[in-house]
Amino acid sequence: MEQETNVVSASLNGIRNSPRKMRLIANLIRKQEIFKALDLLTYSRKKRISLIFKKLLLSLLSNWEKKYNQSSSKKKEFLYIKEIRVNQGKTLKRLRPVPQGRGHRIRKRSSNIIVFLDQKKET
């Protein structure tokens, strides 16, 4: 027997921030309810990264509404972030000149984010 789940996903690729910095914010909102996570992101110190996550969560909420044709706030109370993954994307390689005609490599990392939204059982 298959269990029916209400899982919806959203992803964002090629963000020009390193995955290590993105994971700091991702760990804050992992396993949180969607509206609590949005509040945490609003008052987070890392404004640029939290804005990216906030837009992604709003997109995720919109995807859920489109998939299940439900815009009632009663059902939205039970939505939570089931899983969030931050992976490394492409790395831009640049050279920085240093003394004696040498060059050191600068790696500008990017990241990919995947978020899954699920609905808790109503009690």
End-to-end CA distance of the chain: 23
The Cα 12–Cα 55 span in angstroms is 10
The Cα 63–Cα 8 span in angstroms is 7
Closest among 38, 113, 108, 48 to 76, alpha carbons compared: 38
pLDDT string in tens for the chain (123-residue length): 455 567 899 999 999 999 999 999 999 999 999 999 999 999 998 889 999 999 999 999 999 988 887 666 557 778 999 999 999 999 999 999 999 999 999 999 999 999 999 988 766
Closest among 70, 110, 117 to 89, alpha carbons compared: 110
Which domains are present in the chain?
8-119 (3.90.470.10)
